[in-house]
Structure 1
Amino acid sequence: MTWNEQPGRKRGTAAIVLLSLGAVLVAGAALWAAFGAPQGHQSIVVRGDGMMPTHARGDQVPFFIPPAGDVERGEVVFANVPWGNGGDAPFRVVAVGGDHLVFTPGTSRLVLNERPLDEPYLMDRAVPATLPFDVVVPEGRIFLMGDNRADSDDSSHHVTGTTEGMVPLSAVHAKPVTDPDAAVDIRPVLLFAALPLLAGAALGTSALLARRRAPKTAAAVAVTKSSTAT
């Protein structure tokens, strides 16, 4: 009997391929669940009017937990700010570490890194801020403002010569799911990814049993031939 003719050899090879594929798919699905898949099964209730018109008081906003430090200018985040009431509130990230941000009363825009900042999401674009400020955001911190600048208790109200108004990245606990319909339950994805593992395990068991039966079958054939010859 040649190597390729060994009982269960083809099933064993198929089992190895399926087990390897299943392991890769499950690992990929787990990583996607941890770092990429929006998990909108919970929501945060907006308590104030500072983020109107993007988020109104009473809105239940689906969210996901971003990787640490995953914050960009212009996006909305839920953060526990030093001047808040202890809960997570929504804010717009206006500036990040290293940015120079300025507001001069009488002007219609903030100036970010020496350029006027376009903010189409504002409740009133004629009111980009209510208090003057001129700050350089320290590394590892962000400058947060509401979209309703006339009624927002945000970083611009807490610029005191210290970094109090600039919030540490660790204060960001969540981001809104931009497309709630895209929120997924990861369990069916993991189950689908695990199917090759289950099939591989079944084939592997079948191949092992076939190899164990082979010596008994060969011995029985040998006994039969010996009896016939006698």
Structure 2
Amino acid sequence: MDTAERQPRKQGWRFALLALVLAVAISGLVRSLWIDVYYIPSESMEPLLETGDRILVSRTAFSDEPIARGDVMVFDGRGSFAPLSSGKGPLVDAVNAAGQWFGLIGSDTTYVKRVLGIPGDHVQCCDDAGRVTVNGQAVEEPYLFPGDEPSKQKFDVVVPEGRLWLMGDHRSRSADSRALLGAPGGGMVPIDRVIGKPVRIIWPLDRFAEMPRYPQATPTKNGH
């Protein structure tokens, strides 16, 4: 093979490599600003989300409308649900970050939960019927995992400004705000740690669907 034949191949590889770098860069920009993909590593949000699901997350959803009770959200749990540092070292963190970026593994610091209390809310468990109450009114929760109680753990909290009270739908399998009542911050997640709102399940294909919306976490009148 002469030099003239090798040159086009070399240029072709360079073009392919440049196209790949540009594609990754554009994808990274889109995922950091508008839309992202997350892997569900646990059963804490069943039956809505199952282990192994990949979800499409809008990073701008809460820019258009305020966070409301009942919203499902993805958030960075560092400093509240998780330590600020993994303690595993930069190399392991980099490998894990790559796996998370490609949707192959879940994150130890990124969580998906449902909002039960917004700033100023008085959230308690439970009333005489075993329901969570918000500001003295019972909350109907049709999304709960079948057979689960709203909570076996008692709590009585007032959500401070700039924070949220979050719980999983599979209450018996969810480590959430309830598990951190004695920790700094009292299990409340800072609003500025919210990453976005799940809008669609994209994998596996047999579960491909938009995320349902409920009037869940809206206190019923007079607690009935």
TM-score normalized by the length of structure 1: 0.56
| Structure 1 residue 88 displacement after superposition | 1.6
Residue number in structure 2 paired with 1:64: 58
Alignment partners' CA distance in 2, 1:89 and 1:161: 18
Q: Percent identity?
A: 31
- Determine which structure has the larger strand proportion and give its number: 2
- Structure 2 unmatched ranges of 5 or more: 1-29, 83-106, 203-207, 211-224
Aligned residues, how many? Answer: 146
Q: 1:99 aligns with which of 121, 127, 131?
A: 121
Q: For 2:114, what is the secondary structure of its paired residue?
A: strand
| Structure 1 residue 158 displacement after superposition | 1.0
Matches within 5 A, 1:1-230: 42-66=36-60, 67=62, 70-81=66-77, 82-84=80-82, 86-104=108-126, 107-124=129-146, 126-160=148-182, 163-178=185-200
- CA deviation map 1:129-184 (0-9, x unaligned): 1211000000110000000000000001111285230110011101111587999x
Q: For 1:177, what is the secondary structure of its paired residue?
A: strand
| Structure 1 residue 86 displacement after superposition | 4.4
Contact kept, 8 Å, 1:45 with 1:60, in 2: the verdict is: yes
Between the two structures, name the one with larger relative contact order (CA 8 Å, sep ≥ 6): 1
Q: 1:167 to 1:55 in 2, by over 3 A?
A: same
| Structure 1 residue 127 displacement after superposition | 0.6
| Structure 1 residue 71 displacement after superposition | 1.5
**Which protein shows a greater Rg?**
1
- Determine which structure has the larger helix proportion and give its number: 1
Alignment partners' CA distance in 2, 1:159 and 1:138: 13
Q: 1:125 to 1:94 in 2, by over 3 A?
A: farther
One-letter amino acid matched to 1:49: E
